[in-house]
Structures are given as C-alpha cells and as structure tokens.
Amino acid sequence: MLSLFLLAFTFLVVLFIYWWYQKPETFPPGPMGLPLLGILPYLSSFPERDFGAWGKKYGPIMSVPMGWKNCMVFNDYETVIETLVKQSKEYNERPYIRLLHMFTNKGIAMITGGPVWRAHRRFGMSAIRRFGGNKGVMEKKVKDEAMYLVQKLEENEGKPFKIQNLLTNAMANVICNMAFGRRYDYNDDKFQVLITNLLAHFKKVSDWKTNVLMLIPFLCDVPPFTKHVEINMMLIRPIRAMIGDLINEHKSTFDPNDIRDILDGYLESFVHKDDNFVFENCQDFFFDLFVAGTESTSATLRWAFLCLTLNQDVQDKMLEEIDQVIGKEGTPSLSHREKMPFSCAVLHEVMRFKTLVPLSLPRCAAGDVKVRGYHIPKGTQVFTNLWQVHNDETYWKNPNQFDPQRHLDENGNFTNSKYVIPFGAGARVCMGEQMARTELWIFLVTIIQRFRISVDPNDPDPPSLDDGTNALVYVPPAYNMIIDSR
C-alpha cells in the first residue's frame, strides 16, 4: 500500500514539474526557475541587473516566473515604446499588490485602474498646470524654498553634516505649498515628526523584505515579515492623519470663489459637484502626491550631490557655466536652461546613472495582448526595466561611468536623449514630472552656485557611488558632506 502511495505521489510530482515547465508556443522565452519559487532564489539585491543579464540570452521581452506567477519584463527602449506608449490602453492598469495597497489604494500611484484612477489622473494633470505651471507660480514657490534651504545650509558651513533631512524638509514644503497652500518652518515639531517618519518609511520600502512581500504576498502574515508591515503602517499613520486634518480644515473654509490650492481644487471638482464624495479617495490622492513628490526628488538630488562631490572636475565645469550665465548673485531660473547645456547634461546624467525606480512601478495587461508575435494574457504583471534602458550598451558607451559629456553634441549643445526615461512612459508616466524637473533644476543650480560641496576628508567610511539600498526605489546612503560658501 505504501509503495503504491509513493508511486502515485512521485507520478503527481513529475506531472506537476512537467506542467510547470510547459509554456505556450506564443509565450515569451525566459529563465525557468524552480517550481513554486520561480526565479526568486536566483535574484540578487539588484533584480533589474539580473533581468538585464538574462535579457541578453532571452531577448527584450522576457517571461519570468516569480513565485507561482508568470510575469513579463520589458528590457529595452523600443519594447517600452511599442507596449506602454503605443498600446497604452492595454497597459494602464496596476496589479493588485497587497503590501502597497495597505499603504494606499484609492489615490493615483497604486490604484489598479477604473473610473477613480481616470478621474484622479485627469484632475492631477490639470491641477498641477492650474496651480503651478501657469504664470510661473510653481517656479516662484520652488525658488523661495530653495533660498530657505540655502539659509539652513549656511548654518552647517565648514563642518561635516548629512543633507538628507534638510532636503526632505525643502521638498516636502514645495508639495505642501502647492497642495495645501502652506509651508512649515524646518523647526516645527509636528512637521519634523512627518519628515522623520517619511524618511524611515522610504528606508523600509528600499529594504529587501519589500521586494519579497511584493512577490509573495502571503508572507505579510508570517513573522518576521509581519514586523516589516507593522512598522511601515505605523510610520505612515501620522502622514495620513495630517492630510486628513488638512482636508477637514479646507472643507470648513472652502470658498468656491477663492480656490487657493490643489486641495481646494479637488474639493471643487469632487465634492461640490458630486454628493458621493469619498474621504479616503481624497486622502489617498494627497498621500500619494506628498510621499512620492517629496522623497523621490530629494533622493535624486542626494545622488546628484554625491556624484558632484566625487567628481570635482564636473562640479568645477558646472560652476564655471553658472558663473558665466547667472553670475554669483543672480537667481537661477528655468529660462537659464537653454544657455546652460553642461548643467542640463549633469542633471540628465544623474537620472540615467542612478535610476531611482529601477523596475518602475509594475503594470498589468488590461486584456490579452500580442507583442511581436508573443501572447501576453490578461492580468499578467509587467515590469519595465528602466535600469536596463539606462545602461543598455546599444545606446550608451561605458554606461557604468558617470559622464555628463555623453549628453552633449560635438558643438557642446545639450542633447535630450529619448533613452533617458526616469519618469516612466505611457498612461502611467509620473504625473508630477513637470514639478519634479523644476525642483531638480532650481535646487541643484542654486546650491552649486553658492557652495563648494565636498566629502569629509576625515570620514573613516567615505561614501561611494556603489552604495545605496535597493528595492522598490534605489536610494543613496546617508553620507556626510562639507559645504563652503563661495
């Protein structure tokens, strides 16, 4: 009897393994992985690099089993455009990812799709133009905040310090000013609680446990991963509470004849024109705007400053251009960009060299899709390997080197390469791209104009461009730097 049971069990195991490794003829090729686990045991701390290496064998459209799900990876620029842009309606949805939906699921970033997402997307794009892009309002707010940051940086002149908290304060204030019509003093106790929690939350989502939980969701209920979830939920509660208080405050003071900021605009669009206003939708929308708009820009600037401290020749050349175009006392402006090709190249190279969201936020196929003869079934989770696009040797010579010169033509003019797509592509391209580009330019040029930045020569553990933590986002280490006024 036992031998019959073992024989039957063996047969079922063989049948399962045979079924596991069978793929439809029209399915993209890819690594096989292990039954139930897929390729998860073979992933390093940088899965985007693993996918890029496998792509050389299997091609730009690759299937990868993650856990018991078959996912797709798009590994080159042409595939990204062919799918996410030219077939944007088929790739405008997000998959349901339990961990991320615990943080936010009715706003703009991780909402799967549907009428709420479409309404939020339309509103968000128009609101940023209305309350920022028109008449240079956004640029003025960014310039003002950049000068507040300069004053704080002057207090740290000549001594080692970490710029992370101050930068996050500044970026958060730009969002608060645009979205809620107010800014906070950097010493405000309540505001500092938010900044501390925001930085801790981003550190957690850059932890390897986040990648595991995104791919194996049931582990959210299994120790020690439950602790990871609990800490993240604890960190975001004060942020959500602050946004809830601001929503209630704006509702109580709302005047349809005086629309003051983006939150007023939201109330105008979704409350006073719709009796079915959902508080959580509003809270999630502004949570996404605040969190994504703050730390993503701050992290990019921290990478930029680290690149410049470790490449003093690039900093010198950028400073020379700033002095020629703006001068030491002038105010950096977006209008200066066309006269400052090298500085444009520096920022462009930072966003290529240090891809902040290496695999972008995942998409899923809204229906059965065919791409280059391959069949991608409805609901298939899709990863866009932005890191590979930014490091593809087809487009870039020596991609692992920081080299702004690659973005200048033979006459020294800036070339805005289409192969640099840090904000994604298609229907889910970053809603705040215009705001982010304004902040990055104004803050970077303002600080380099006024300070020489360098590493601490006495630091026993000096920073490296190879450092950083990587999961959903790739963030730089909290390094020491020294600034000296010019």
**Residue 212 in tokens:** 């595991």
First to last CA, the chain: 87
Residue-wise pLDDT for 351-390, tens only, equals: 999 999 999 999 999 999 999 999 999 999 999 999 999 9
Spell out a b/e string for 163-198, using b for 16 or more CB atoms within 10 Å of the CB, else e: bbbbbbbbbbbbbbbbbbeebbebeeeebeebbebb
Residue 463: CA atoms inside 13 Å, Cβ hemisphere, count? Answer: 24
Dmax (CA) for the chain in angstroms is 91
pLDDT of residue 7: 61
Query: Taking 80 as the threshold, does the pLDDT of residue 1 lie above it?
Result: no
Percent with pLDDT over 70 in the chain: 93
pLDDT of residue 449: 97
Torsion angle (degrees, nearest 10) of CA 148, 151, 156, 162: 10
- As a whole number of angstroms, the distance between CA 301 and CA 441 comes to 9
Residue-wise pLDDT for 64-91, tens only, equals: 998 778 899 999 999 999 999 999 999 9
Nearest to 270 by CA among 107, 101, 94: 107
Nearest to 390 by CA among 295, 474, 469, 309: 474
Rounded average pLDDT over 141-151: 96
For residue 172, what are the contacts with CB-CB under 8 A and spacing of at least 6?
A: 184, 191, 194, 195, 198, 290, 294
| Structural contact between residues 439 and 140, judged by C-beta atoms closer than 8 angstroms | no
| Structural contact between residues 183 and 147, judged by C-beta atoms closer than 8 angstroms | no
User: Which residues on neighbouring strands pair with residue 475, listed in sequence order?
Assistant: 469
Query: Taking 60 as the threshold, does the pLDDT of residue 12 lie above it?
Result: no
Band of pLDDT at residue 5, cut at 50, 70 and 90: low
For 80-485, the fitting CATH number among 3.10.20.600, 1.10.630.10, 3.40.50.1820, 3.30.70.120 is 1.10.630.10
pLDDT of residue 210: 86
| Structural contact between residues 119 and 446, judged by C-beta atoms closer than 8 angstroms | no
pLDDT of residue 18: 46
- Strands 374-376 and 381-384, bridge-based pairing: unpaired
Considering only residues 461 and 452, tell me which one the structure prediction assigns the higher pLDDT.
452
Query: Taking 70 as the threshold, does the pLDDT of residue 23 lie above it?
Result: no
The domain locations on the chain are 1-75, 80-485
Lowest pLDDT segment from 84-93, 131-140, 258-267, 416-425: 131-140
pLDDT of residue 388: 98
354: left (phi over 0), alpha (psi -120 to 50) or beta: beta
Residue-wise pLDDT for 220-266, tens only, equals: 999 989 999 999 999 999 999 999 999 999 999 999 999 999 999 99
Residue-wise pLDDT for 190-212, tens only, equals: 899 989 999 888 888 888 888 88
Lowest pLDDT segment from 23-27, 128-132, 257-261: 23-27
Rounded average pLDDT over 39-43: 90
Mean of the per-residue pLDDT values of the chain: 91
- As a whole number of angstroms, the distance between CA 486 and CA 322 comes to 13
Percent with pLDDT over 90 in the chain: 73
| Structural contact between residues 298 and 167, judged by C-beta atoms closer than 8 angstroms | yes
Lowest pLDDT segment from 132-146, 229-243, 393-407: 132-146
- As a whole number of angstroms, the distance between CA 464 and CA 479 comes to 9
